Amino acid sequence: MKTIPVIENILSANDRLALANRNLLDTHGVFSINLMASPGAGKTSLVENTVRELAKDFRVAVIDGDIATSIDADRAAAAGAQALQINTGGDCHLDAVMLVDALQKIDLSKVDLLIVENVGNLVCPANFKLGTHKNILVASIPEGDDKPYKYPGIYRGVDALVVNKIDLLPYVPFRMDYFTRGVEILNPELLSFPMSCKTQEGMIPWYNWIRENIRLARPAV
pLDDT digits 0-9 by tens, 115-135: 999 998 999 888 899 999 999
Q: What angle do CA 153, 158, 160 make, to 5 degrees?
A: 140
Note every long-range contact of 140-144, with CB atoms under 8 Å and residues 24 or more positions apart, other chains counting: 140/37, 140/38, 140/40, 140/41, 140/42, 140/164, 140/165, 141/165, 141/166, 141/168, 141/169, 141/172, 141/174, 142/40, 142/168, 142/172, 143/38, 143/40, 143/41, 144/174
Rounded CA-CA distance 198/195 in Å is 9
The pTM assigned to this predicted structure is 0.92
Beta-strand pair 60-66/160-164: unpaired
* Domains within the chain, CATH numbers bracketed: 6-217 (3.40.50.300)
pLDDT at site 9: 61
pLDDT at site 220: 67
Q: 89 or 181, which is more confident?
A: 181
Q: What is the mean pLDDT of the chain?
A: 92
E strand or H helix that includes residue 52: helix 43-54
Which residues, other chains included, contact 149 with Cβ-Cβ below 8 Å and sequence gap of 6+? 182
Q: Is the pLDDT at 8 greater than 70, yes or no?
A: no
Of residues 108, 92, 84, 106, the one with CA closest to residue 31: 108
Which residues, other chains included, contact 8 with Cβ-Cβ below 8 Å and sequence gap of 6+? none
Q: What single-letter DSSP state applies at residue 16?
A: H
Q: 8 or 67, which is more confident?
A: 67
pLDDT digits 0-9 by tens, 159-200: 999 999 999 999 999 999 999 999 999 999 999 999 999 999
